[in-house]
Structure 1
């Protein structure tokens, strides 16, 4: 066996010589709390594993983190050995057996939750694995969380995955309190968060220049957040608080498995905590509490979370969080071209506060060693306002958002290479209840209710085979979801307020741009992956997306105004001001839409690993997005007092189609300059082409031979290209990391109308900055109990592609400096503190608007206890 290892060549020996040893420990959900030793634990415990093919040394590191065991091995023993990929829920015994398969190595228990991996032919190792050149690293308490040595705590599996993936770790989420969850994504390469609707706390993620209309799918534990609402900026919105999020996974190209249906430009998945994140080793219950406050209207951000292992096979975790943030002051250093007096006065941006109450509960049941079920419910209740100053007085529209997400998951992984099955069923319901005020009459208020209900599910399985050329795996499955969107504004109420009795549905000013409609999508996929030896991985697959969208709306022809006398007691606006009222008389027509779309979408990938620490890959994928309910059924016009005669559906609207080409490299190297340091890097260059990109323009409807504003397909090919890099070096006592984004977008700005080329108007296509750079570094002092760090973000200027509102959405480049730190008093108490926008820069954030400049200097502190 030893001779066979030496035959792998000098490149393996070079990489292996840099590895001093492995010593990892962690705590994961579902592990019995009172295991007497590792052997007993491995007989009865299961865990969910996601370990890509990689060197055995690093694979054992990840295994230890995910299994909650301390794994030790002699450096020479694991040198030059590769481990196969491992995915799904397995018993820890079976998982470790697969990792060691074919290596000739075995394992034994050496104490509570401690495992030794050794060569049975080397008898000295069986006596004491700590002898010789094995060096036990500092004990790392993972607490079930996927935190690793990568940029801002990115887990190690990211740097062995041949794909453009980024992760915001729990370490980063907990670093300092944030004003809004979107702040967590500011340092991710290739990712921006739109802040054009800054008074709304919803999250709108822009990946590589794509956003809105579900181009980028946003999920909570795989449950899609499909809510859309039109406005003077971004339209797609998700509502999620940070308190119960353990990780944010971002995929920037095609998702070949579950989650990829209808996604044109990637996915963002907010993964929730598990019981093992709260319960410490050797215990059956745990409680964690956190409370924070700060300056610049950062009033309070706190939560209480508790978890218990009711039995060896059942755990429950739940909690409640509350956040209250007021309207913030902008920075005082710098010059901004702003419209003072409209949305901010005395350097305070009005209605930029929020109050959020989130509750969460999750049950985890191991029905057997290979069958696991989880059921979770997250409820987010957010209160905010929107509006500004009009004619010297303030107009306020109050917003109440309630977002319920329920997810059920089943994972079955028996002792068979043919079955690694996972099933999900989920439901999401978002209700946005708004109370609006009239511009012309502040005493008149009326409600508008926006709702989106989405139900979905998925079923996938992975089968594994040993073939002559290596290890073959087949991943296949199906997913579906159904959207039901409704908008309700009382037409009679509006008619009374405006003195309108002509039969026109004025509520179309709200429901027309946010139409009632339904959409169903079904997607099937199959992907095959071949791993040859320890250096080559090849994969390819197909997905078929099918969608159906249906609904109806009303469009109106030209307006006729008829003046009529006011009836006695009529207190409508027109009667009170003029003593008469005018009735709008229109001819109306019902328009029904029922369309189906479908596409076959291939993908392919090849990855080579010439050294243990280096992986290079190339990928190709096709993506597809059918029109959304908003795009297919648009009607009405601007909300009152404007009249709803401007918009109409476009029956000729085509789906968007994309081709993405990527080349990239992963570097994961330990022992670079010392026995305890590590370097991680992921670099990806991409080129994307999109045909039939959807924006707004003009259509002619035959019902009245009249022109309307509608969604149209942009001429030519929309192109996007860029380079994304995330890297880190961690030496234990200090660390340094960074992210770099170069992004160039070339959106089309014309469309074809009645045989002629016309400019796309009046929409705003948001164009991200070309450059974004983040540097992050710090030191760990006092036996690593004190961490002090700093971060620099430089973001380039940007301007939207087209539109009548272009000037308001232009931003200039800016550079921000942040400080952060934490002091660990003991294993149960920690103080976190930070200063955001240290130099108090006045700036407008990228993909924002001059109406809402960003917050100035904000100092925060939070105290966390865990017991």
Structure 2
């Protein structure tokens, strides 16, 4: 898949060009044997970012990001007798992300992150009770340089290229457990509870942050924080699933999921002042950051018509230190989101016509500190869509987003977007067709 786009950023006076190429490979081995349900997925993506134009601070910046990944897994099922069933899921994954910029790399430091892991999960089913236990081993490695010296400065020869500073690498690993208990007292109702550990290692961009938009590419090593620790999350997920057929009409389907989550995160990574050095960089927040909320998803499908809804209400105790909104775009997610999708099917369900409502709650964009944050109002958008399966090989479709052409400011869009309100995309019409041969 190839993608090429370019647009002009009026506030900075430069053209932004994006060119990406993505290659994927998927393979499945499913011979019908309960011991084998294997899958292999691999991908490689190259993204070129070019800032061109006749003026502006960012003109001349160029960067290349390469990402390669592979994931392999298999599921084996065993009948243990006496109503006991055992399912084993196991595999391994690898991904590497590498970014290289030119001498005007600015606040986008070079670096390579490699992550690898192995995972296994066992599920035991007995009547209406299911127990699931899993372990995941993750290893990470990040390498880069602390900064660059300008030609003619220090020990860097004049007339040449930037001289790289100290090469630094960091790595670590962790085993994360997961356990789930589920009970299905009725054919159409399942209750579940999950306790799990997860973690996120610091990225190369966070470890080797050069200290703002230094447009000569030199950077300042004192703004690095190569001792950042990975974020560690420990949390609960409680909820219920409903799957009921024939609720009102023959052949209709009701699906509903209601869940509550509560996660405590240690070493949450934020942008702020390093108390050890006094410099502004990426740091681990003190204490524990809590994220909790409720999620609801539901669908009723009667064939000729359907309705789908989703709602999220979340509360994040996001730590916002001084300078959180200087040099980096830091915003708070809205507390609530909602989507309602209603549609109908015609002519043997070959034609679909529908409408969608999208609601996004209030949020804010941080500037300097929490007291100077920019409030962003809630907004509701309406869409229309439709499709026509002319035959098994030809499919036509259309989509009209923001049909009322509403003016709004997108949540967590960045400081510049929040300052110049009304940046949300207006009415957008997409018409297309797909053909299979």
Q: TM-score range by the shorter chain?
A: 0.7 to 0.9
- The answer to whether the Cα contact below 8 Å between 2:259 and 2:295 also exists between their aligned partners in 1 is yes
Query: How far apart in 1 are the matches of 2:4 and 2:197?
Result: 37
Equivalent position to 1:773, from 338, 341, 345: 338
Match of 2:85 in 1: 471
Gaps of 5+ in 2: none
Contact 2:24 2:41 in 1 (8 A): no
Q: Return the structure number with greater relative CO, CA threshold 8 A, min gap 6.
A: 1
Between the aligned partners of 1:831 and 1:685, the Cα distance in structure 2 is 39
Give the 3 Å change call, closer, same or farther, for CA 436–640 of structure 1 in structure 2: farther
Instruction: Give the Cα–Cα distance (whole angstroms) in 2 for the partners of residues 518 and 726 of structure 1.
Output: 38
SS of 1:545's equivalent in the other structure is strand
Q: How far apart, in 2, do the equivalents of 1:554 and 1:605 lie?
A: 46
Q: How many angstroms apart in 1 are the aligned matches of 2:367 and 2:196?
A: 28
Cα pair distance change 1:449/1:686, threshold 3 Å: same
1:693 aligns to 2:268 (yes or no): yes
Among 395, 415, 428, the alignment partner of 2:45 is 428
Q: Which residue of 2 aligns with 1:531?
A: 125
User: Counterpart in 1 of 2:423?
Assistant: 853
Shift of 1:651: 3.2
Q: Which has the higher helix share?
A: 1
- TM score, norm. by length of structure 1: 0.44
Determine if the alignment matches structure 1 residue 382 to structure 2 residue 16. no
Instruction: Give the distance between the partners of 1:623 and 1:772, measured in 2 at CA.
Output: 25
Residue among 483, 488, 502 paired with 2:97:
483
CA distance in 2, matches of 1:820, 1:672: 27
Residue pairs, 1:556-635, within 5 angstroms: 590-635=165-210
Whether 1:396 aligns to 2:10 is no
Quote the residue 1:166 is aligned against: none
Pair 1:519-2:116 in alignment: no
Offset at residue 688 of structure 1 (A): 1.3
Q: Measured at CA, do residues 385 and 606 of structure 1 come closer, stay the same or move farther in structure 2, by a change above 3 Å?
A: same
Change (3 A) 1:455 1:774: closer
Once the 2 structures are TM-superposed, how far is the Cα of residue 658 of structure 1 from its aligned partner? 0.7
Kindly indicate whether the alpha-carbon contact (under 8 Å) linking 2:271 and 2:323 is maintained by their aligned counterparts in 1: no
Match of 2:291 in 1: 720
1:659 is matched with: 234
Structure-2 separation of matches of 1:400 and 1:424: 25
1:817 corresponds in structure 2 to 382
SS of equivalent to 2:206: helix
Q: What is the match of residue 313 of structure 2? A: 742
How far the C-alpha of 1:798 sits from its partner, in A, is 0.6
Query: Secondary structure of the residue that 2:273 maps to in structure 1?
Result: strand
For residues 523-565 of structure 1, what are the alpha-carbon distances to aligned partners after superposition, in whole Å with 9 as ceiling and x for unaligned? 12221110112x11111111111112222232679xx9xxxxx
Worse-superposed segment, 634-643 or 771-780: 634-643
Q: Deviations over 1:88-147 (max 9, x none)?
A: xxxxxxxxxxxxxxxxxxxxxxxxxxxxxxxxxxxxxxxxxxxxxxxxxxxxxxxxxxxx
Alpha carbons of structure 1 residues 516 and 784: separation in structure 2 relative to 1, 3 Å: closer
Tell me the distance in 2 between the aligned counterparts of 1:807 and 1:722: 26
**Alignment check: 8 A CA contact 2:22 2:43 kept:** no
Within the candidate set 403, 410, 413, 1:838 is matched to: 403
8 Å Cα contact 2:147-2:218 kept in structure 1? no
CA contact (8 A) 1:555 1:636 kept: no
Q: TM-score, normalization: structure 2?
A: 0.84
- Shift of residue 778 of structure 1? 2.8
Q: The residue matched to 1:635 in structure 2 has which SS?
A: coil
2:134 maps to: 541
Structure 1 match to 2:304: 733
In the TM superposition, 1:195-594 aligns within 5 A as 378=1, 380-389=2-11, 395-407=13-25, 409-414=26-31, 416-435=33-52, 437-439=54-56, 447-468=60-81, 470-489=84-103, 507=104, 510=105, 513-533=107-127, 535-554=128-147, 590-594=165-169
Deviation at 1:739, TM superposition (A): 1.1
In structure 2, the CA distance between the partners of 1:461 and 1:597, relative to structure 1 (3 Å rule), is same
Partners of 1:647 and 1:805 in 2: CA distance: 25
Give me the whole-angstrom Cα distance separating, in 2, the residues matched to 1:406 and 1:786: 31
Higher strand share: 2
CA-to-aligned-CA distance 1:277-299 (integer Å, 9 cap, x gap): xxxxxxxxxxxxxxxxxxxxxxx
Does the residue aligned with 1:630 lie in a helix, a strand or coil? helix
CA separation in 2, counterparts of 1:418 and 1:829?
A: 38
Q: Does 1:670 align with 2:248?
A: no
The 3-state SS of whatever aligns with 1:673 is coil
Q: CA separation of 1:630/1:777 partners in 2, compared to 1, >3 Å: closer, same or farther?
A: same
Distance 1:472 1:689 in 2: 31
CA offset digits 1:221-259 (Å, max 9, x no partner): xxxxxxxxxxxxxxxxxxxxxxxxxxxxxxxxxxxxxxx
Shift of residue 425, structure 1, vs aligned partner = 4.0
Q: CA deviation at 1:655?
A: 0.8
Q: Measure the CA separation in 2 of the matches of 1:719 and 1:622.
A: 14
The answer to whether the 8 Å contact 1:607/1:617 transfers is yes
* Rounded Cα–Cα distance in structure 2 between residues aligned with 1:630 and 1:616: 41
Consecutive unaligned residues of structure 1, counting only runs of 5 or more, are 1-377, 490-506, 561-582, 751-757
Aligned length: 420
Residues 26-77 of structure 1: CA deviation (Å, up to 9, x unaligned):
xxxxxxxxxxxxxxxxxxxxxxxxxxxxxxxxxxxxxxxxxxxxxxxxxxxx
Distance 1:467 1:822, change over 3 A: closer
| Cα distance in structure 2, aligned partners of 1:458 and 1:792 | 36
- Closer/same/farther in 2, CA of residues 636 and 735 from structure 1, 3 Å limit: closer
Contact 2:364-2:411 at 8 Å conserved across structures: no
Over 3 Å counting, the alpha-carbon distance change for 1:457 and 1:820 in structure 2 is closer
